[in-house]
Amino acid sequence: MSPLGECPLDPGGYFVVKGNEKASVMSSTEMTKSKTIIRMEKEKVYLVLNAFTSKVPIMLVMKAMGMETDQEVVQMLGRDPQYATLLLPSIEDCASIGIYTQLQALEFLEKKDEGALGVLRDIFIPNIRVGGIKSPVRENNFHLKCVYVVVMLRRMMDAILNKDAMDDKDYIGNKRLELSGQLLSLLFEDLFKSMNDQVKFNVDKILSKPSRSSRFDVSQHLLKESITVGLERSLSTGNWDVSRFKMHRKGMTQIVTRLSFIGAFGSMTKISPQFEKSRKVSGPRALQPSQWGMLCPCDTPEGEACGLVKNLALMTHVTTDEEEGPIISLCTCFGVEDLSTLSGEELHSPSSYLIILNGLILGKHRRPERFANVMRKLRRAGKVGDFVSIYVNEKQRCVYIASDGGRVCRPLVIADNGVSRIKDHHMRELKDGVRNFDSFLREGLIEYLDVNEENNALIALYEGEATHETTHVEIEPFTILGACAGLIPFPHHNQSPRNTYQCAMGKQAMGNIAYNQSLRSTVSLNEAMSDGYLDLPFGLSSTAATDDENNRAAGQNATVAVMSYSGYDIEDAIVMNKSSLDRGFGRCIVMKKISAAYQKYDNTSDQFSSPCRSQHDQIQILDNDGLASPGEIIRHQDVYFQKECPIDPKGSMKSHPSQTPYRTSKQTYKGAEGETAVVDRVALCSDKRNNLNVKFMIRHTRRPEVGDKFSSRHGQKGVCGTIVQQEDFPFSERGICPDLIMNPHGFPSRMTVGKMIELLGSKAGVSCGRFHYGSAFGEPSGHADKVEDISETLVKHGFCYNGKDFLYSGITGMPLQAYIFMGPIYYQKLKHMVLDKMHARGMGPRQLITRQPTEGRSRNGGLRVGEMERDCLIAYGTSNLIYERLMISSDPFEVQVCRKCGLLGYINYKSKTRVNFKNISRFLLS
């Protein structure tokens, strides 16, 4: 990858469409596509199916499928009289309308809906093939469907009899994630079919013509690019409109936020729900116990989508579809008895378990535990796919085998009788680089479990805690967190919402994007930002280490003093040291892409234009070809692109190209006034229509200023309140002077103890020259340093154990009244900078129609004195101010009015004359 100019660490997982990087958002589904509902209403059971116009009594369906005797149904349902009692009203109902045979039932159904048999065969639970698993014996053998319906019936009755048997809708094991592959395949199928239809339509039209001049060639009539364009459109807009599958979804893709590596990585793990977010329900938003280790408990947005949009945890794997055939034959080999050989009575006999593969009833097995163990052994040996899950549900007396796509699963260390299979020598080999993760998996030391199979496992958090029954050991506790939350040091000491805030904020931090970040631009974003002066955090979290994130940091270590200073630090504002800023703290580079194009017309095209040097100063940075040259300093209003356009692009057909008159057109740079940027690169390329395109990358190095936003890694953001000279800053007798002062009021209500420990750990790390770690829940395993140990290190290097220092005031030279908690904390610069936001105007542009000031910073708009502001001014009694704002500054307009006729005077632009010029008076409208 690297010789080709690509970053070797780029995780991929996104599409590049029309010059944008788009990541497709995983969506979690709860329901399968075809809905078959068995519902009990007024003690009678009905089947609700979209293909039928109304609900159908279940016994009628059973009879129509060939199960004519009621006894057979009751027998299949189970011997327990409870079930029969529940079904009795339905049986009576069926008998009361006089339907006893299959023929009668079918006739009854046919009367209501035509083709009822076909619906039952092809649409009603279509995953069960009619005729048996192997070769169809008879065309319309509905036995298996009957079994399936009875199992559904029994489940429903279980739920009625015993509320515990209810399925949990929010349970992660009942959800499937839809990945981009599935979405694209649907889209492709639709596009391909519509293309075929279109081609067929066209070809038919041609072939139906009686006489044709040339030989018919189908390849001439294939629609070019219709699939490409369709895919491109869906990916770039994110709208999936597949009417063939009744799919109308929006926001399926999102632009990858390339602000920092982790931010980009984080946007690739995002999962959004399928139903709308407006529902005010707490269930799906709550933290599910089953998401442990699969989905990050911290990383979710605040507000509307809180708890609905989720992110994958670090080690999570999303399965893809696996072939069922081999698994079915394996199951039969291991003693699964085919249903067609069993009687109805045996279906729910307590001595054996149902075997269900991806919702398909395979048969029964007498020794389910043994069967499950054998299957698992095969999986560990690599004979069955790694991600096939085998789950024994004792309550439902079923063994579920799942090989379908979209399940989330995670790796765990296998333990035999509570002894981990990974021994010390394995770890040593891992350190030496002889082994890697895949070899652990291949040799059956580690296996992937999905959420359902986790229910059969007893997982110990640490090896030492394993008992005899333990089947698995966690790899590391911090893997329950996702990529963004994994960056927080000591997250387990923080108040939980703080970690959530940090997850959202980490995506706004500016940092290194990739190794090739200086080369990117041309295909990437409009505005990529990067920090030229980055550090590794002294206080690392292990996730940072596993993610290889160290090379792509997104912040700097700032020595922070937690104290009050100057009053410019209220409401989380921070005070910064000017000398630190001089030396490069918090600098960032903002890249901006501007493009220009040379247009082609019928006969002519735009031309290069050599700037005339004698003109004004604004064109100084242009090269002889009319393009700004790289490395030039560019200011507001500078011309960076100049070309010659034909004055009349259409009329030039007649004249010779050399005689076409041209005019010069210019593009000026609109940046912040008083700021200087640099032309970083100029790229020339041709676009789809073969026009010459020019792309300018403008680089702007920014030094922090008052109002820029900073944040530590604990959800504690703050703007820079003031910048103070170094000599005014407090200092210690060692000569240490903080880079940044944070107000202590940030701590009590936020309860970010992790930040304090980070400070302590970093301080110890700086003094002893070793990175300190702060992985989540890492203290027992040594991946996080304990405060006691940190304190010891501090004392060893002559600091106070509690991290407080004795400081002198830089202003007076007197000692400060209190000991100051001081040490390095990793600070991130967030993308919100005043330079991009500040705005003020006096006179300025107005809207054409209303003549009121324009709106918004980009249009240099005015600031509206709205209702509430007006209320304030009224309350304050500043009547003249209100009068000026509401009357004079906004609406008045001066017109010329004819004294005689009373008409408004105006300038006729065609004749350039004033109409109604005589008897004119000025008039002020307001």
Partner 1 sequence: MEGASYQRFPKVKIRELKDDYAKFELRETDASMANALRRVMIAEVPTIAIDLVEIEVNSSVLNDEFIAHRLGLIPLTSERAMSMRFSRDCDACDGDGQCEFCSVEFHLRAKCINDQTLDVTSKDLYSSDHTVVPVDFSDTGAGFENNEDQRAIARKGIGKDHAKWSPAATVTFMYEPEIHVNEEMMETLSLEEKTSVVESSPTKVFGINPHTQQVEVVDREAYTYDDEVLKKVEAMGKPGLVEIYAKEDSFIFTVESTGAVKASQLVLNAIEVLKQKLDAVRLSEDTVEADDQFGELGAHMRGG
Nearest CB to partner 1, comparing residues 353 and 696 = 696
Residue 73 makes contact with partner 1 by CB under 8 A: no
H helix and E strand count, the chain? 22, 46
Confirm or reject binding of residue 732 to partner 1 (CB under 8 A).
yes
Distance of closest approach, residue 530 Cβ to partner 1, in angstroms: 11
Binding to partner 1 in span 612-631, by CB under 8 A: 631
Among 143, 699, 709, 763, binds partner 1 (CB under 8 A): 699
Residues 798-827 that bind partner 1 (CB under 8 A): 798-801, 804-806, 808, 810-815, 819
Q: Do strands 633-634 and 639-646 pair parallel, antiparallel, or not at all (unpaired)?
A: unpaired
Size of the site for partner 1 (CB under 8 A): 40
- Contact between 167 and partner 1 by CB under 8 A: the answer reads no
Kindly state the helix (H) or strand (E) to which residue 149 belongs, with its residue range. Answer: helix 143-161
Q: Are 484 and 311 in contact (CB under 8 A)?
A: yes
**CA terminus-to-terminus distance, the chain:** 67
The reply on whether position 579 binds partner 1 by CB under 8 A is yes
Decide if residue 8 touches partner 1 (CB under 8 A): no
* Residue (117 or 594) nearer to partner 1, CB: 594
Which range touches partner 1 (CB under 8 A), out of 600-608, 722-730, 823-831, 861-869? 722-730
Using the minimum distance from each CB to partner 1, give the nearer residue, 568 or 806.
Answer: 806
Q: How far is the CB of 611 from partner 1 (least distance, A)?
A: 22
User: Distance (Å, rounded) from C-alpha 393 to C-alpha 340?
Assistant: 23
> According to the binding rule CB under 8 A, does residue 691 interact with partner 1?
no
- Helix pair angle (81-96, 70-77), 10° resolution: 150
Q: Label residue 846 exposed, middle or buried (CB < 10 Å: 0-12, 13-18, 19+).
A: middle
423 or 734: whose CB is closer to partner 1?
Answer: 734
527 near partner 1 (CB under 8 A): no
The residue from 532, 567, 657, 780 that contacts partner 1 (CB under 8 A) is 532
Nearest to 828 by CA among 530, 527, 483: 530
Dump strand ranges (E) for 496-637.
Answer: 529-530, 539-540, 556-562, 574-577, 588-598, 607-608, 633-634
Helical packing angle, 753-768 and 787-796, nearest 10°: 40
Which of 364, 367, 390, 366 minimizes the C-alpha distance to 377? 390
Q: Is 531 in the site for partner 1 (CB under 8 A)?
A: no
Q: Quick check: 622 and 640 in contact, CB under 8 A?
A: yes
Q: How near is the Cβ of 703 to partner 1 at its closest, in Å? A: 9
Find how far residue 230's CA is from the centre of its chain: 23
Q: Does 734 bind partner 1 (CB under 8 A)?
A: yes
CB of 728 to partner 1, least distance (A): 8
Q: Does position 794 bind partner 1 by CB under 8 A?
A: yes
Binding span for partner 1 by CB under 8 A among 224-232, 381-389, 476-484, 723-731: 723-731
Give the nearest distance from C-beta 580 to partner 1 in angstroms.
Answer: 8
> Rule CB under 8 A: is residue 680 a binding residue for partner 1?
yes
Stretch that binds partner 1, among 334-342, 406-414, 747-755, 792-800 (CB under 8 A): 792-800
* Closest alpha carbon to 588 in 530, 660, 527: 530
What is the distance between the alpha carbons of residues 263 and 509, in angstroms, rounded to a whole number? 8
Rounded least distance, CB 678 to partner 1, Å:
6
Both tokens assigned to 349 = 């006999």
CB-nearer residue toward partner 1: 771 or 801? 801
CB 35 within 8 A of CB 280: no
Q: Which residue, 544 or 820, has its beta carbon nearer to partner 1?
A: 820
Cβ–Cβ under 8 Å, residues 252 and 27: yes
Is 683 a binding residue for partner 1 by CB under 8 A? The answer is no
* Least distance CB 727 / partner 1 (angstroms): 4
Position 849 contacts partner 1 (CB under 8 A): no
The only residue of 122, 168, 189, 582 in contact with partner 1, by rule CB under 8 A: 582
3-class secondary-structure state, position 198: helix
CB of 760 to partner 1, least distance (A): 14
Beta strands at 717-724 and 804-805: parallel, antiparallel or unpaired: unpaired
584 touching partner 1, by CB under 8 A? yes
Shortest gap between Cβ of 806 and partner 1 (angstroms)?
4
| Closest among 550, 494, 479 to 712, alpha carbons compared | 494
CA atoms within 13 A on the CB side of 638: 24
The dihedral built from the CA positions of residue 356, 357, 363 and 367, taken in this order, carries a sign that is negative
Region from 95-103, 413-421, 660-668, 727-735 binding partner 1, contact rule CB under 8 A = 727-735
Among residues 610, 608, 559, 606, which one has the least CA distance to residue 585? Answer: 559
Q: Which of residues 587-616 bind partner 1 (CB under 8 A)?
A: 587, 589
**Site membership for partner 1, residue 568 (CB under 8 A):** no
Based on the shown chain and the rule CB under 8 A, indicate whether residue 731 belongs to the binding site for partner 1: yes
Q: How far is the CB of 569 from partner 1 (least distance, A)?
A: 22
Nearer to partner 1, 802 or 854 (CB): 802
Shortest Cβ 634–partner 1 spacing (Å) = 12
For every residue of 830-849, which 3-state class applies, written as one string? ECCCHHHHCCCCCCCCECCC
Kindly tell me which of 538 and 731 has the beta carbon lying closer to partner 1.
Answer: 731
Q: Which of 104, 198, 332, 518 binds partner 1 (CB under 8 A)?
A: 518
Other CB atoms within 10 Å distance of the CB of residue 828: 29
Decide: is 2 part of the binding site for partner 1 (CB under 8 A). Answer: no
Q: Which stretch, 456-464, 554-562, 794-802, 904-912, contacts partner 1 (CB under 8 A)?
A: 794-802
C-beta separation of 95 from 87 below 8 A? no
CB of 729 to partner 1, least distance (A): 10
Task: Specify whether the backbone of 169 is left (phi greater than 0), alpha (psi in -120 to 50) or beta.
Answer: alpha
Among the listed ranges 31-39, 93-101, 331-339, 577-585, the one in contact with partner 1 (CB under 8 A) is 577-585
With binding defined as CB under 8 A, does residue 674 bind partner 1? no
Site track for partner 1 across 631-660, x = CB under 8 A: x-----------------------------
Identify which of residues 81 and 532 has a Cβ nearer to partner 1 in the complex: 532
* Residue 371 interacting with partner 1 (CB under 8 A): no
d(CA 65, CA 920): 94
The alpha helices in 769-840, defined as continuous H runs, are: 787-796, 834-837
Q: Which residue has the tokens 């009899």?
A: 161
Q: Which residues contact 711 (CB under 8 A, 6 or more apart)?
A: 502, 505, 509, 717, 718, 827, 828, 830
**Is the CB of 8 or the CB of 584 nearer to partner 1?**
584
Instruction: By CB under 8 A, tell whether 294 contacts partner 1.
Output: no
Query: Which residues lie near partner 1 (CB under 8 A)?
Result: 518, 532, 578-580, 582-584, 587, 589, 631, 678, 680, 699, 701, 725-727, 731-735, 794-795, 798-801, 804-806, 808, 810-815, 819
